[in-house]
Amino acid sequence: MDEPKRNLLLAALAPAELKRMRQHLERVDMPLGKVVYEAGRLVEHVYFPTTGIVSLLYVLENGATAEIAVVGNEGVVGISIFMGGESTPSRAVVQSAGSAYRLSSQWVRDEFARGGPMQHLMLRYTQSLITQMAQTAICNRHHSVDQQLCRWLLLSIDRLPDPEILMTQELIANMLGVRREGVTEAAGKLQNAGVITYRRGHIKVLDRKQLESMSCECYEVVRVETARLLPRALSR
Amino acid sequence: MDEPKRNLLLAALAPAELKRMRQHLERVDMPLGKVVYEAGRLVEHVYFPTTGIVSLLYVLENGATAEIAVVGNEGVVGISIFMGGESTPSRAVVQSAGSAYRLSSQWVRDEFARGGPMQHLMLRYTQSLITQMAQTAICNRHHSVDQQLCRWLLLSIDRLPDPEILMTQELIANMLGVRREGVTEAAGKLQNAGVITYRRGHIKVLDRKQLESMSCECYEVVRVETARLLPRALSR
DNA sequence: GCCGGTCCGTGCGGCAGCGCACACCCCCAT
DNA sequence: ATGGGGGTGTGCGCTGCCGCACGGACCGGC
């Protein structure tokens, strides 16, 4: 069940590739709130989530935060390793507890330098991540908290086995970079509309279709572009 | 004067690398407003600006726009070619007229596949672009139009020979994704403070230091991270 | 079963930015 | 030189979000 192939990038690799990698893969737990890597710090491992979800956050001097991308079992955390920077100004935090497989940075660098299918896959994934970040930028500019909450919920349940999210409104507000009260209000509307139910840190999505229709276009744009870039990894 | 080396990425390549590339480089004009590539369309060439500036824009269904990154002589336009996507959902538009050198996508793909210094350089630049986009995302969330205008002016004059920008407030508003009137007001404040002067599509920066102090931190964060990733290309 | 802390609901004043409307003015082309 | 059009200044009402404050409700632990 919980094996490397549960990560869709690893699953997309040819058996021979995966086999070579296998003995270097290390399974790790990702408890809620764990900081996978800190902004500006050397990244030691590259993580392939299987059941966990990781948020990439930027933090301002005054402590304000905003999520710039989400990575679940469709992706990989630590792209700065093969991009060559070794670190990034973003912080990676576990948003939903679960597990992941990780590789040492050194091994990833070496493997990447071979220039094979693994390199191609990582780069295409990176491009899809860029798309997600860019769409987040314009979404932050133009869309309402209500719409963004819908987008965020969709991004989350896409990466979870069940349409149920364990997260307080306070934390969601940190992700979206808005007030906690704003999330309370938006979530209230969704509950009244019968789209979700929630109680103290649990959110259940009841009507995904309607959630999509209430979301801004940003969710769909990113989904379509990701499917284009990584068709094999998105066959779910 | 206007030679390939005026682009800092090309200048950072070893002479031998550049020499091999030289005969494939084609000098092109970049007139104001020219669409270098359209969202979702196949990218045919990779551009290395020397004097021009290119904006990467996202466009929403309702026509609203936002700039997600700027590329001048420090960078390259068309990263989707070597990232493997062949296209992106963003549009690239010339924001300040000038010229560039370009390479055919096919040649870039082949060269990139060699895995040499050119690959390293392009990937590190891509990471710095990612940083710029991510910072733009959080900036859109948390900072005022006044601050963002300062950031935008700094990004522009960094890429221009003189601290003078040819651009209407209307167009700046499109870049920032705000109202034209918002830019008028913000620019008025800056002019009163003696930081800039402007008239009908011309903006001159008089006091760069003060402009920096009135900008949000986002400008500096990106500058520092870019300098870290590309020390040789930023020796200016 | 009670207690305490975390989480959620709600209200209020304030304000930045929006959409719209319109006046003015600079500049250039005829 | 003059008319026209693009670029800029300004005002007004509106709304979405912020910051703050506090009350209440839920839930887990003893």
Q: Tens of pLDDT along A66-110?
A: 999 999 999 999 999 999 999 999 999 999 999 999 999 999 999
* Cross-chain CB nearest to B66 (options A79, A128, A142): A142
Q: Which residues touch strand D (CB under 7 A)?
A: A 144-146, 177-179, 181-182, 199-200; B 168-170, 180-181, 184-185, 187-188, 198-201
CA distance A10 to chain B (A): 18
* Assessment of whether the complete model's pTM goes beyond 0.75: yes
What pLDDT is stored for residue A235 in this prediction? 46
Strand D contact nucleotides, protein CB < 7 Å: 6-11, 16-21, 26-27
Confidence of residue A232 (pLDDT cuts 50, 70, 90): confident
Interchain CB distance below 8 Å, A221 and B89: yes
| Confidence (pLDDT) at B231 | 92
Type of residue found at A161: P
Say whether A124 and B85 touch across the interface (CB within 8 A).
yes
CA of A201 to C1' of D27 (A): 11
* Residue in A closest to B65 by C-alpha: A138
Half-sphere exposure in the Cβ direction for B114 (13 Å, CA): 12
Mean pLDDT for chain B overall: 96
Query: Rounded mean pLDDT of B170-176?
Result: 98
Q: Which nucleotide is nearest to B179 (CA to C1')?
A: C18
Which of B58, B79, B131 has its CB closest to that of A135?
B58
What's the mean pLDDT in B118-135?
98
Q: In angstroms, how far is C19 C1' from A13 CA?
A: 52
d(CA B84, CA A219): 22
Average pLDDT over residues B130-148: 98
Q: How far is the CA of A189 from the C1' of C26 (A)?
A: 50
Secondary structure (DSSP) of A186-221: HHHHHHHTTSEEEETTEEEES-HHHHHHHS-THHHH
Q: How far apart are CA A207 and CA A212, in angstroms?
A: 9
Please state at what angle helix B218-229 crosses helix B117-142, rounded to 10 degrees: 170
Q: Is residue B191's pLDDT more than 60?
A: yes
What's the CA–C1' distance between A195 and C22, in Å?
A: 45
H-assigned helices in B143-179:
145-158, 169-176
Interface test with A, best of B42, B119, B127 (most A CBs within 10 A): B127
Any strand C atom closer than 7 Å to A169 CB: yes
Q: Which nucleotide is nearest to B168 (CA to C1')?
A: D7
Quote the DSSP letter at residue A114: T
pLDDT band, residue B206 (cuts 50/70/90): very high
Of the pLDDT bands very low, low, confident and very high (cuts 50, 70, 90), residue B236 is very low
Fill in the DSSP letter of residue B64: -
Nearest nucleotide, CA A167 to C1': C7
Which residue of B lies nearest to A138 if distances are taken between CA atoms? B66
Q: What is the DSSP letter of B77?
A: B
- Considering chain A, what percentage of its residues have pLDDT values greater than 70? 98
Strand order, beta sheet including B35-37: B35-37, B91-96, B53-59, B65-71
Return the residue in A118, A126, A130 with the most chain B beta carbons within 10 A, the one to mutate for interface testing.
A130
Q: Which residues contact B176 (CB under 8 A, 6 or more apart)?
A: B66, B67, B145, B148, B149, B152, B183
Q: Give the minimum alpha-carbon distance from A1 to chain B in angstroms, rounded to a whole number.
A: 31
Contact criterion met (CB < 8 Å) for B124 and A225: no
Look at residue B171 and tell me whether its pLDDT is greater than 50: yes
Protein-covered nucleotides of chain C (CB closer than 7 Å) are 6-11, 16-21, 26-27
CB of residue A200 closer than 7 A to nucleic acid strand C? yes
| Proximity of residue B182 CB to strand C below 7 A | yes
pLDDT at B110: 97
> Which secondary structure element, helix H or strand E, spans residue B20, and what is its range?
helix B15-22
Residue B180's nearest nucleotide, by CA–C1', is D8
Q: Extract the tokens encoding B47.
A: 């551009």
- pLDDT higher than 70, residue B1: no
Q: Which are the contacts of A2, defined by CB distance < 8 A and separation ≥ 6?
A: A27, A50, A51, A99
pLDDT confidence band for B232 (50 / 70 / 90): confident
Res A233: pLDDT: 67
What was the pLDDT predicted at B125? 98
Nucleotide nearest to A185 (CA to C1'): C9
Do A123 and B88 lie within an 8 Å CB cutoff?
Answer: no
User: Which of B115, B128, B133 lies closest to A134 in CB terms?
Assistant: B133
pLDDT of residue B235: 46
Chain-chain contact of A89 with B135 (C-beta, under 8 angstroms): yes
Q: What is d(CA A25, CA A31) in angstroms, rounded to the nearest whole number?
A: 19
Separation between Cα atoms, residue B153 and residue B189, nearest integer Å:
14
Per the structure block, which two tokens stand in for A42? 């050397």
Per-residue pLDDT band at A234 (split at 50, 70, 90): low
CA distances from B197 to B69, B159, B163, B180 (A): 25, 19, 11, 17
Q: Which residue is nearest to nucleotide D27 (CA to C1')?
A: A200
Beta bridge partners of A71: A54
Of residues B228 and B4, which shows the higher confidence score?
Answer: B228
Compute the average pLDDT of residues B47-65.
97
| B161, B165, B171, B174: CA torsion to nearest 10 | 60
Hunting for tokens 């991540």 — which residue is that?
Answer: A129
